Amino acid sequence: MRQATATLPESPEVPSAESLDIDTTITKDSLNDLPLFRFNGPVEIVSSDDQVPAAAKALRKETLLGFDTETRPSFRKGQNYPPALLQLAGSSTVYIFQLLRLKRPDPVMEVLANPAICKVGVAIRDDIRKLREHYTFAPAGFVELSDSTQKAGVVNTGLRSLAGILLGIRISKGAQVSNWSRKDLSDSQIRYAATDAWISRMIHERLVDLGLLLKDDSAA
């Protein structure tokens, strides 16, 4: 049976970055001058099937989740790996699911299919596609944050650039190409993964404040 493709929301009419006094671009040097931000709040590592139901129950109480995934990098042409981590950032805690260690992830996949829970991130279409290659769920409630910023005229729409432009902070990319498939994640990996999901949540809230997104914008 052919799978349905993920449908992301149409962004509303948005004001321009110029009218909001927002920079449309940011240089590498300007980014590097910004203060470094790292999420230092609670992080729950979900590495066994026994932990999944409780984590999913907590996530179902949220209305807004920062979303991201991490995959072991490939350095050979044609070599691909399944997503190793799924990160979901709630109002106070970031949950990191070690997908390769889970055999029964259905409860968290149900969160990804719940249209009442808004999941937000940057460049999420590829993440969703890769997840659906290995897990069965119908994605709903997802918001691609760069859609609204592009419509507003922002040129640099990667997560790091948007954090700099909209939040005035710098996030490290030092652990980006590390081995996310390892059983025991390092502290730097955990904080990197948690920060990316948390930043997406922060960017969404900032876009709502600016009128670039409606608070309840999400895919049905």
Tokens of 183: 């059983």
Provide, rounded to the nearest whole percent, the portion of the chain with pLDDT above 70. 88
- Phi-psi map region of 123: left, alpha, beta (phi>0 left; psi -120 to 50 alpha): left
pLDDT score for 5:
46
What pLDDT is stored for residue 10 in this prediction? 52
| CA-to-CA separations, 161 to 53, 97, 156, 192, in angstroms, rounded | 35, 26, 6, 16
Q: What is the pLDDT of residue 213?
A: 87
Residue 9 within any structural domain of the chain: no
Residue 28 has a pLDDT of 93
pLDDT at residue 176, rounded to an integer: 67
Summarize the confidence of residues 64-71 as an average pLDDT: 97
DSSP secondary structure letters along 43-72: EEEE-SGGGHHHHHHHHTT-SEEEEEEEE-
b/e map of 110-134 (b: 16 or more CB within 10 Å)?
ebbebeebbbbbbebeebbebbbee
pLDDT band at 78 (very low <50, low <70, confident <90, very high): low
- Whether residue 13 is contained in a domain is answered as no
Give the per-residue pLDDT at 32.
93
* 8 A C-beta contact, residue 85 and residue 186: no
Mean pLDDT of the chain: 90
pLDDT at 11: 46
| Residue range of the domain that includes 84 | 28-210
| Average pLDDT for 161-166 | 96
Q: Has residue 215 been placed in a domain?
A: no
With cut-offs at 50, 70 and 90, classify the pLDDT of residue 12.
low
Strands 64-71 vs 43-46: parallel, antiparallel or unpaired: unpaired
Residue 6 resides in a domain? no
Query: What is the CATH number for 157?
Result: 3.30.420.10
Q: Which helix (H) or strand (E) holds 120?
A: strand 118-121
Is 68 part of a structural domain of the chain?
A: yes
Q: Are 87 and 196 in contact (CB under 8 A)?
A: yes
Lowest mean pLDDT among 61-65, 91-95, 153-157: 153-157
Whole-angstrom Cα distance, residue 98 to residue 43?
13
Three-class DSSP category at 124: helix
Q: In whole angstroms, what is the distance from residue 187 CA to residue 68 CA? A: 18
Quick check: is 36 in a domain? yes
Domain count of the fold of the chain: 1
